[in-house]
A and B are shown apart, each in its own frame.
Chain A
Amino acid sequence: MGQPINEIQEELIEEFGLFEDWADKYEYLIDLGKKLAPMTDAFKTEENVIKGCQSRVWLHAEKQGDLVVFQADSEAIIVKGMISMLIRVLSNHTPAEILASDLYFIDQIGMSQHLAQTRSNGLVSMVKQMQHYALAFS
């Protein structure tokens, strides 16, 4: 069994809690984006693309045993940082765990604006798509 989703969320909240000003927080987020595991090129297809108004996100999901494993990428580094956290929280969990999850950490670390920009970055659609994959695999 992997680490429970909420435990990972708590870890992220703690990590972001270390930073006092926004610049440190964003530097960490950018760093997470840079360190995001590269997406397999074969999965960066037109079918896997989620079009935001300003930048694209690619999302691939597959089932490994009982668990859903996600890979994703984006053209924009801050979006990549967000993706990196979403993958850390949701990947390698069962469809039921993913479907039951409530991503409260985003609000708590002060990054909800990136999910509020509904048209610009594709992140909202990405979260929805992750849930859809979980449903399809359940």
Chain B
Amino acid sequence: MAEKLNIDQIRADFPVLHQQVNKAPLIYFDNAATTQKPKAVIDALQHYYELDNANIHRGLHTLAERATTAYELTRKKLATFLNAPSTDQIIFTSGTTAGINLVAQTFGRANIEKGDQIIVSNLEHHSNIVPWQMIAQEKGAEIKVIPVSDEGVLDIEAFKALLNSKVKLVAVNHVSNAIGTINPIVEIIALAHAVGAKVLIDGAQSVAHLAVDVQALDLDFFVFSAHKLFGPTGVGVLYGKRDLLEAMPPYQGGGEMIKEVSFAGTTYNELPYKFEAGTPNIADVIALGAALDYLQAIPADALAAQEEALLAYATEKLQVIPGLKIVGTAPEKIAVISFMVNGVHPQDIGVLLDKFGIAIRTGHHCAQPLMERYGLVGTCRASFSFYNTFEEIDRFVLCLEKTLQMLQ
């Protein structure tokens, strides 16, 4: 039995949760879009700007040294968080999308040729589709798609059938943002590697919920965003295997990423700086370090148990609403419930729930191919985090019923 979290104490750490929205206490169920930030993260940002602000790596004064140390400390914490073999393989980006584009434009440009194939899945966010379409179009490569079942589970047999020696890269998410399915990445990676393909896992939706060990998973590339992990917006992380990162050409040119510049020719810096051109997002990287500290102070099994219990409770409560259908019923899911109600447009539900102070997401969730697969214009999505409560779910269900009465 996992240790139980003290939810009141945890909620006290998140200032944003304690407010009225439209004259009702805020219920924040849009955690898959972005998570809220604990006070420790907000404090880290303020501390940095009030006391340590300086440009990093090249300054030799005290502030520059403090800022550099704090910035590089986050890289160390991330290496531990992901069990990366070295800190050099942790590259800071501006977010998941930037990480995917970096791999597409460097690894992709160097390794994908005419007639090659890139496999994505029907569950992907647009940001794990479009960068691959761009490089495929440029190179004359083909995109192949792993189909998804009615329940929201990837068809692994179909994936096996798609694999061949022309496949250079498989890009799938660890967890679906739209419907919460946890994909069998261990199997996907092993199968892809067996035909010599590399794998990029989009971890945007998984890092806040599941432990990721990049070595145990034999991951080639793993990307995620800090803001979905209780950290600030504008920071993302790319992990890559050393040999892959070293062989990849640089992405953007500029300061920081060079060793020596002359008009006769420029030599590039080593990992990870080769991919970090320009002054990085120093403050937010440092604050991400505070987010990791915060998260790691909470027992992981208690956190998972709370989210699982919230998912089970909300699923049971919602199912009794007439006409409501949960979209995505995979056996392996994180605490995300996508749903639709017969004859009601999701947007109308979202607008009225907001009037009750409840934040959910409505629409296609940047996963139009998945919506098309299910013949839907969009869904309503409630996504939970460990700071959510059973009482909030009760009020959500009650307000949803009132909303539907108004609309039907």
Chain A residue contacts of B407, Cβ below 8 A: 30, 77
Q: Chain B's interface: helix, strand, loop or mixed, by majority?
A: helix
Tell me how far the C-beta of B42 lies from the nearest C-beta in chain A, rounded to whole angstroms: 26
Task: Flag B326-370 by CB within 8 Å of A: 1 or 0 each.
Answer: 000000000000000000011110111001000000111000000
Residue of A nearest to B346 (CB): A54
- Interface stretch among A19-27, A40-48, A99-107? A19-27
Task: Flag A28-67 by CB within 8 Å of B: 1 or 0 each.
Answer: 0010000000000000000000000111000000000000
Known A27-B406, A30-B406, A30-B407; judge A55-B347 contact (CB<8 A): yes
Chain B residue contacts of A55, Cβ below 8 A: 345, 347, 377
| A76 on interface, CB distance cutoff 8 Å | yes
| A10 on interface, CB distance cutoff 8 Å | no
Chain B residue contacts of A77, Cβ below 8 A: 345, 348, 407
Chain A residue contacts of B347, Cβ below 8 A: 54-55, 75-76, 78-79, 120-121
Is A23 within 8 A of B345, CB to CB?
Answer: no
| B378 on interface, CB distance cutoff 8 Å | yes
| B22 on interface, CB distance cutoff 8 Å | yes
A114 to B363, CA, bound (A): 15
Chain B residue contacts of A27, Cβ below 8 A: 406
**Residues 263 to 297 of chain B near chain A (Cβ within 8 Å):** none
Is B406 within 8 A of A54, CB to CB?
Answer: no
Size class of the A contact interface (CB-based, 8 Å): 10 to 19
Tell me how far the C-beta of A114 lies from the nearest C-beta in chain B, rounded to whole angstroms: 8
Task: Flag A104-117 by CB within 8 Å of B: 1 or 0 each.
Answer: 00000000001000
Chain B residue contacts of A79, Cβ below 8 A: 347
Residue of B nearest to A53 (CB): B363
Tell me how far the C-beta of B64 lies from the nearest C-beta in chain A, rounded to whole angstroms: 41
Known A54-B378, A120-B363; judge A23-B348 contact (CB<8 A): no
Chain A residue contacts of B350, Cβ below 8 A: 54
Tell me how far the C-beta of B371 lies from the nearest C-beta in chain A, rounded to whole angstroms: 11
Task: Flag B3-22 by CB within 8 Å of A: 1 or 0 each.
Answer: 00000000000000000001
Is B355 within 8 A of A26, CB to CB?
Answer: yes
| Of the residues A23, A75, A76, contact of B406 by C-beta under 8 Å | A23
Chain A residue contacts of B402, Cβ below 8 A: 23
Chain A residue contacts of B351, Cβ below 8 A: 78, 114
Chain A residue contacts of B378, Cβ below 8 A: 54
Residue of A nearest to B350 (CB): A54
Residue of A nearest to B22 (CB): A22
Most buried by A among B345, B351, B364, B402: B351
Residue of A nearest to B345 (CB): A76
Known A75-B377, A77-B407; judge A23-B355 contact (CB<8 A): yes
| Of the residues A22, A120, A121, contact of B355 by C-beta under 8 Å | A22
A71 to B406, CA, bound (A): 25
A22 to B347, CA, bound (A): 17
Is B355 within 8 A of A78, CB to CB?
Answer: no
A55 to B362, CA, bound (A): 10
Tell me how far the C-beta of B130 lies from the nearest C-beta in chain A, rounded to whole angstroms: 16
Is B355 within 8 A of A75, CB to CB?
Answer: no
| Of the residues B22, B348, B355, B364, contact of A76 by C-beta under 8 Å | B348
A53 to B347, CA, bound (A): 10
Most buried by B among A22, A76, A114: A76
Is A26 within 8 A of B406, CB to CB?
Answer: yes
Chain A residue contacts of B364, Cβ below 8 A: 53-54
| Of the residues B345, B352, B362, B377, contact of A26 by C-beta under 8 Å | B352
Is A54 within 8 A of B355, CB to CB?
Answer: no
Known A23-B406, A26-B406, A54-B378; judge A78-B348 contact (CB<8 A): yes
Chain A residue contacts of B348, Cβ below 8 A: 30, 76-78
Tell me the B residues contacting A by CB distance below 8 Å: 22, 345-348, 350-352, 355, 362-364, 377-378, 402, 406-407
- Taking A54-B378, A77-B348, A120-B363 as given, write out 4 further A-B residue pairs in contact, using a Cβ cutoff of 8 Å, ordered by the A residue number: A26-B406, A27-B406, A75-B347, A78-B351
Please, could you name 17 A-B residue pairs with CB atoms under 8 Å apart, sorted by A? A22-B355, A23-B406, A26-B355, A27-B406, A30-B348, A30-B407, A53-B363, A54-B350, A54-B362, A54-B363, A54-B378, A55-B377, A75-B345, A75-B377, A76-B348, A77-B348, A78-B352
Which 7 A-B residue pairings sit nearest by Cβ, starting from the closest?
Answer: A76-B345, A54-B363, A76-B347, A54-B347, A55-B347, A78-B348, A76-B348
